[in-house]
């Protein structure tokens, strides 16, 4: 997911003003994935939301000194969101791999059974129980079922976390915090090298 461009940044702009603009864009970027990411089938939206949470988190961790006192808590909340969505993403990536391996083993077993059948006019059903990978792909089915159930549970936790963030006023509090200013200090001015 490509990050949204932060418009209005200038080389001679005060650092706290630049951070306010940047955090506001990253916060809108994160929140824009809802309600689409609430749909368990929207795998891509959820993955992109995790990336947006990561960008916001790192930005807040690096610039908390320029943002109001809610910034460290907001960074922590963004990390919670990022971590939880990351666990869901791990399931989304692993399930297809497990199923692909299972299909591969089934194909190997089908080929092995045809070879064992030799010149027989039909395949003896008893041979199916003797396929070399039967236990493996049955085990992989168990793993895939576990991962599907875990993903559902984690997605439910994601929705609960998002509702908690909404109840806590995460967005409004962070929007307010980025407008707060630390005591004036010349160290808060960004100067371009060309201006020097």
pLDDT by residue for the chain (196 residues), tens digit each?
787 888 888 888 888 888 999 999 999 999 999 999 999 999 999 999 999 999 999 999 999 888 888 999 999 999 999 999 999 999 999 999 999 999 999 999 999 999 888 888 998 888 888 888 888 888 999 999 999 999 999 999 999 999 999 999 999 999 999 888 666 554 544 444 444 4
Residue 6 falls within a domain, yes or no?
Answer: no
pLDDT at 49: 97
Cα 89 to Cα 105: distance, rounded to the nearest angstrom:
25
Cα 162 to Cα 157: distance, rounded to the nearest angstrom:
9
pLDDT at 195: 43
Name which of 121, 99, 123, 101 is nearest 111 in CA terms: 123
Residue 112 falls within a domain, yes or no?
Answer: yes
pLDDT at 78: 97
Residue 34 falls within a domain, yes or no?
Answer: yes
Cα 92 to Cα 36: distance, rounded to the nearest angstrom:
17
pLDDT at 183: 63
Residue 131 falls within a domain, yes or no?
Answer: yes
Residue 193 falls within a domain, yes or no?
Answer: no
Domain count, the chain: 1
Structure tokens of 191? 């100067």
pLDDT at 168: 96
Residue 118 falls within a domain, yes or no?
Answer: yes
- Full domain range(s) for residue 38: 15-183
Residue 111 falls within a domain, yes or no?
Answer: yes
Runs of H (alpha helix) within 64-133: 71-117
Residue 122 falls within a domain, yes or no?
Answer: yes
Q: Which pTM value belongs to this model?
A: 0.82
């Amino acid at each position: 997911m490509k990050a949204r461009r932060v418009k209005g940044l200038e080389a001679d702009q005060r650092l706290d003003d630049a951070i306010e603009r940047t955090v506001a864009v990253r916060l809108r970027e994160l929140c824009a994935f809802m309600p689409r990411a609430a749909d368990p089938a929207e795998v891509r939206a959820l993955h992109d939301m995790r990336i947006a949470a990561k960008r916001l988190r790192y930005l807040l961790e690096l610039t908390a000194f320029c943002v109001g006192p809610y910034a460290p808590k907001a960074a922590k909340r963004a990390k919670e969101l990022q971590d939880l969505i990351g666990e869901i993403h791990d399931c989304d990536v692993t399930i297809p791999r497990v199923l692909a391996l299972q299909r591969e083993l089934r194909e190997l077993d089908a080929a092995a059974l045809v070879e064992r059948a030799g010149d027989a006019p039909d395949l003896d059903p008893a041979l199916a129980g003797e396929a070399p990978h039967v236990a493996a792909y049955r085990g992989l089915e168990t793993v895939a079922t576990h991962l599907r159930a875990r993903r559902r549970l984690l997605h439910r936790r994601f929705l609960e976390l998002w509702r908690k963030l909404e109840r806590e006023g995460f967005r409004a509090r962070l929007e307010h915090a980025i407008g707060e200013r630390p005591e004036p200090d010349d160290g808060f001015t960004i100067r371009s090298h060309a201006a020097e």
